[in-house]
Amino acid sequence: DAKTTQPNSMESNEEEPVHLPCNHSTISGTDYIHWYRQLPSQGPEYVIHGLTSNVNNRMASLAIAEDRKSSTLILHRATLRDAAVYYCIPSGGGADGLTFGKGTHLIIQP
């Protein structure tokens, strides 16, 4: 499994954009980059995934570096409900188990 490096924690203000970085320099050519988040006292929740191109959905955007060694999860307008631990996970896909690292604890200030 590819090793990932994420900041232990980040802090942002409500209604501002948040950029969560992830380094995955050993990612294999066929691995997708998945992002999950875990709100307090809940199970992890899928956020977004991509392979090479930038991706957008209703929750977030994913910017993937051209060399695929890093990616950035973008929350365009953070709310208090976005306070969670965010995990970046290179993986072949949902049919395989996920290897979670320590993630980034995102704190949102009102």
Partner 1 sequence: DAGVIQSPRHEVTEMGQEVTLRCKPISGHNSLFWYRQTMMRGLELLIYFNNNVPIDDSGMPEDRFSAKMPNASFSTLKIQPSEPRDSAVYFCASSLFSGPQHFGDGTRLSIL
Regarding 15 and contact with partner 1 (CB under 8 A), the answer is no
Regarding 110 and contact with partner 1 (CB under 8 A), the answer is no
Amino acid at 82: D
Q: How far is the CB of 27 from partner 1 (least distance, A)?
A: 17
Regarding 44 and contact with partner 1 (CB under 8 A), the answer is yes
Dihedral of alpha carbons 87, 47, 107, 52, sign: positive
Q: What are phi and psi of 58, to 5 degrees?
A: -70, -20
68-97: contacts with partner 1 (CB under 8 A):
87, 92-97
Total number of residues that touch partner 1 (CB under 8 A): 21
- 3-state SS class at 11: strand
Could you please report the per-residue DSSP string of 87-102?
EEEEES-TTSPP----
Regarding 99 and contact with partner 1 (CB under 8 A), the answer is yes
Q: How far is the CB of 48 from partner 1 (least distance, A)?
A: 9
**What residues contact residue 4 under an 8 Å CB cut-off, 6+ apart?**
22, 23, 24, 88, 89, 90, 101
Q: How far is the CB of 36 from partner 1 (least distance, A)?
A: 8
Which residues sit at the interface with partner 1, rule CB under 8 A? 34, 36, 38, 42-46, 49, 87, 92-102
